[in-house]
Amino acid sequence: MSEPDQPATVPGAPRAHVVLLSLGGTIFMRQDESGRRAAPDASTGADLARTMIDGVAVSHEEIDNVGSPSVRPAHLARVLARAREAVDAGAAGVVLTHGTDTLEESAFLLNRRWDREAPLVLTGAMRPANAPGADGPANVRDAVRTAAAPAARGLGVLAVFDALVHLADRVSKTSSRSIDAFASEPSGPVALVGEEDLRLLYRPLERTGMMPCPLPDELPRVVTLEASIGEDLALLDGLAPGVLDGLVVAGVGMGHVAARAVPRVAALVEAGVPVVIATRVATGGTSDRHYDYPGSEVDLIAHGAVMAGALPAQKARLLLQVLLADGADPARIREEFAAFAY
């Protein structure tokens, strides 16, 4: 869909308009006098959402104020609707503040449905608003700069932290404490934040796994299990038909499970339940050809499982849910995951 032309700037006028949406998280929290027990604080929004940031006019709208583990698909459907309205009305881009715990998942899910050239930029904070060295204000400034940046157009959904810009499909939270908490595997950040534009480090490939149907309030039931020593996926035994719509296994190594788990994977696939194998290892992803022994990736593929490639288990789960919600058959599921293969 084409977007309205941006009005020409005049002396003293804002160079762009960005809408700041908020869902809560640490960036909208304050800690107590002991420096602990951070909790949501409604007054924080006024501190963050200034009306002008680096020559960009900013307007703030609250979607909700929840901890990120409580974000639901229905929240993100509201974000999508409001973000589209904003850019169709002339906003250069949209910023969404979000808790960091599940930010990478929301970014990935939003990226399946974001169909505008204008960027949708997620950011947050690792330190509460009143903590020494709070990182929220700088992250919001950088996210606004990114949302207004010409070079950000066409990049889809982005995550901005610590002056780095990450693609939604690559970004992961890598630290539970550091303000430098996000990284992109295997590509690294796509850009550095500048005052009026981005410094692109590379040009990304076309996005895959787009979801043409509306984002449902609830996604299909896909469970994630982790492989480890002594784990044979016995929990799958005796499941009633229809309990699971899909399964993701966070395997070891390049996507491996115990030999005794393979018949259970095969039984699910035979019953029409798709099984995706990711890896619990932080970098390197899964393979489709390196090992051939009982429980290896070659063995699992032969029994009908799909490899997640570069996607960690949490994103593999979301992609499978999106595909199932869109009525994808096994061939399409395999094709969409192949786009993330190493």
Smallest CA-to-CA distance from 38 within 119, 104, 118, 134 is with 134
Distance CA 306, CA 155 (A): 27
The answer, yes or no, to whether residue 9 has pLDDT greater than 50, is no
What is residue 211's predicted lDDT score, i.e. its pLDDT?
Answer: 83
Question: Residue 277: what pLDDT?
Answer: 98
Catalytic residues: 26
**Dist CA 197 CA 147 (whole Å):** 9
Q: Rg of the chain's alpha carbons, rounded to an integer?
A: 21
Domains of the chain: 16-200 (3.40.50.1170), 222-338 (3.40.50.40)
- Per-residue pLDDT band at 6 (split at 50, 70, 90): very low
Residues 48-106: pLDDT tens digits? 666 889 999 999 999 999 989 999 999 999 999 999 999 999 999 999 999 999 999 99
The 10s digit of each residue's pLDDT in 93-144 is 999 999 999 999 999 999 999 999 999 999 999 988 888 889 989 999 999 9
Looking up tokens 């992250």 gives 139
Say which range, 31-45, 108-122, 170-184, has the weakest mean pLDDT.
Answer: 31-45
**Mean predicted lDDT score pLDDT of the chain:** 91
* Dihedral (CA of 62, 66, 68, 71) sign: negative
Q: Are 74 and 32 in contact (CB under 8 A)?
A: no
Q: For residue 241, what is the enclosing H or E element? A: none
Centroid of chain to Cα 172: 8
Q: Report the pLDDT value the prediction gives residue 49, as an integer from 0 to 100.
A: 61
Q: Order across the sheet with 191-193: list the strands.
A: 52-53, 56-62, 16-22, 93-97, 120-123, 157-161, 164-167, 191-193, 198-200
Kindly indicate the confidence band of residue 47, based on its pLDDT and cuts at 50, 70 and 90.
low
**DSSP states of 262-305 as a string?**
HHHHHHHHHTT--EEEEESSSSS---SSS--STTSHHHHHHTT-
| pLDDT for the residue numbered 63 | 95
Residues 16-29 have a mean pLDDT of 92
Q: What is the pLDDT of residues 195-210, one digit of tens each?
A: 989 999 999 988 888 8
209-260 pLDDT, tens digit per residue, is: 888 888 888 999 999 999 999 999 999 998 887 899 999 999 999 999 999 9
Specify whether the CB–CB gap between 278 and 248 falls below 8 A.
Answer: yes
